[in-house]
Structure 1
């Protein structure tokens, strides 16, 4: 069965097998499972003997960040980045945690990037109780998401800068991709902020004052990222509208240019077509200067028509 366990006691860190991690009277027992393995779900109900509502919450297919109190225990669901390929509509992997006393059960379906650095903190003796563990996971998630949100903002800044350089046709796809990413992240960061704030205020003994401060800091960071994503989403919508307007304006300009060129050549085409008829009686047909005269007449007419449109400022519209 996929998963791992840690026991922290008297400053020492043990890594037993999952079964031996249960029932230990230690300041911290952390058991992490991957519910893609069906045996993990059976283990939660069999070996771990967790309440059925908790098992259903830990193994649910679709989840949003949340924090619920179960008596002296708490159920926390957070979202973070994953190294695995995820859908664009669901860009963040979830980790569900159930903390009771000194024991923390955590469950994930996709590999969560934040788990590995937290494991290193546990092994180095920097995490001593459930509050430290949950706060560390929350901080690791927000620290990884923060530069990604900033990168989205920088990408949109580049798009807005290039708009001023009239490169509208190259930017529509990039703006749409940025907007889709911002919407996907915003969908989870708002409830994650609420979950962290609620967790920081839970009346449970295993949350120390420093843990609450760390959770509050993570919640504040999540709130800032959510506000930034909302701003990115609105800016992306405005940028897309601007690109659409620029594209329409460019198409109008090109259509106007084509219309002006057609208007210049329309009378010339009529004259050349009229004089090109194979019938008798065409004036000056046998004169040596006839061809040069027709060409000169066409040039004069073209210049006159173009001058008319320039005088009406059609090329500036």
Structure 2
């Protein structure tokens, strides 16, 4: 359970308090030191931070998975001279995607989403710091999110090793945005399955699932929409952190983000249509039930009228004391009911299509 922001009331700006809901993740530090000719990858301890010396030849990527311990964040901040407000934002895990410049480095916040089989969407904050010769990433828990970038570095892809850390930052942002497509595809498949069930047999359970999907798609949209603005700010490159060649790749990510937003709009329309189908189907079923009750009522209404007439307290009434009076009345009732039943059947009110 996430900590309430009431815990931070009265604290000084830059106070390090973890505001997320993951409390069991053990912090792990991974370091990739690379250049065009070599790559060293290892797990390190917090005490090893003092030995990290990024320079123009040797670029580093430091990834922290598990940010629950403010001491880890504080030590990394001291080693790389990070502003206290940046460290505070890293621990405040409900940040909106954004990009901020702090002179020597950029601070970028993104959202990493995962669509589970149960139909629930989980959202985790990813913080990225781009310096001249280093990239720092902070994740709430261990994920496979950045594994494709690690593989490219391990496989000796010349371009990513030759390029500066700005290209590495681009590659990390790219894999996050690309995962949005996979999530939208999963949501689309889930929607199609629900739509088929909805057309066969609507139920309150399906309605609940539709509402859950609608809520999850809105949450995804809230994460993707500001991400587009983040990428747009990086493309403008006012601070000069990205080479001109890398800006071209950022434009490609921007197109992907726009495509994701358009796809989410289509998903939203699909869910709205499914909700309309559900309401229309339920309304149609209710109308059929009301029609069935109306037909039954109308068929027995003449019988009720006849029995009511013969039930009046008059001494002299036709057929009242006749030997066959009862059977004649019953016959008249049955005949009227049969005639009305045939009439309703011809109108398809009694057929399966009508009812």
Q: TM-score category by the smaller chain?
A: 0.7 to 0.9
Any idea what SS the aligned residue of 1:79 has? strand
Structure 2, unmatched stretches of 5+, are 1-26
Partner of 2:149: 118
Within 1, Cα distance between the matches of 2:115 and 2:271? 26
After TM superposition, the structure 1 = structure 2 runs for residues 298-317 of structure 1, keeping only pairs within 5 Å, are 298-307=333-342
The number of aligned residues is 313
Answer with 303-312 or 126-135: which moved more.
303-312
**Among candidates 90, 108, 119, match of residue 76 of structure 1:** 108
In structure 2, relative to structure 1, the CA distance for the partners of 1:312 and 1:8 (3 Å cut) is closer
Within 2, Cα distance between the matches of 1:38 and 1:87? 33
Q: 1:236-282: CA deviations, max 9, x gaps?
A: 224313421331232022112112212212443565688899xx999
**Among candidates 121, 127, 140, match of residue 96 of structure 1:** 127
Answer with 153-162 or 14-23: which moved more.
153-162
Could you state the TM-score of these two structures normalised by the residue count of structure 2?
0.73
The 8 Å contact of residues 68 and 74 in structure 1, kept in 2 or not, is answered as yes
**Among candidates 172, 178, 183, match of residue 137 of structure 1:** 172
Any idea what SS the aligned residue of 2:287 has? helix
2:250 maps to 1:215: yes
2:63 maps to 1:24: no
**Among candidates 248, 270, 276, match of residue 283 of structure 2:** 248
Any idea what SS the aligned residue of 2:122 has? coil
Any idea what SS the aligned residue of 1:173 has? helix
The 8 Å contact of residues 94 and 110 in structure 1, kept in 2 or not, is answered as no
* Higher RCO structure, 1 or 2 (CA under 8 Å, sep 6+): 1
In structure 2, relative to structure 1, the CA distance for the partners of 1:299 and 1:86 (3 Å cut) is closer
2:136 maps to 1:109: no
Within 2, Cα distance between the matches of 1:86 and 1:260? 44
2:85 maps to 1:53: yes
In structure 2, relative to structure 1, the CA distance for the partners of 1:218 and 1:302 (3 Å cut) is same
Partner of 1:15: 41
The 8 Å contact of residues 126 and 137 in structure 2, kept in 1 or not, is answered as yes
Within 2, Cα distance between the matches of 1:167 and 1:85? 22
Q: CA deviation at 1:313?
A: 8.0
Partner of 1:186: 221
The 8 Å contact of residues 113 and 180 in structure 2, kept in 1 or not, is answered as yes
Any idea what SS the aligned residue of 1:220 has? helix
> What RMSD in Å do the two structures reach over aligned CA positions?
3.7
Q: 1:273-295: CA deviations, max 9, x gaps?
A: 88899xx99958895x7776555
Within 2, Cα distance between the matches of 1:75 and 1:188? 17
**Among candidates 27, 34, 39, match of residue 71 of structure 2:** 39
Structure 1, unmatched stretches of 5+, are none
Q: 1:145-184: CA deviations, max 9, x gaps?
A: 2122133234445555666x56444743343233122111
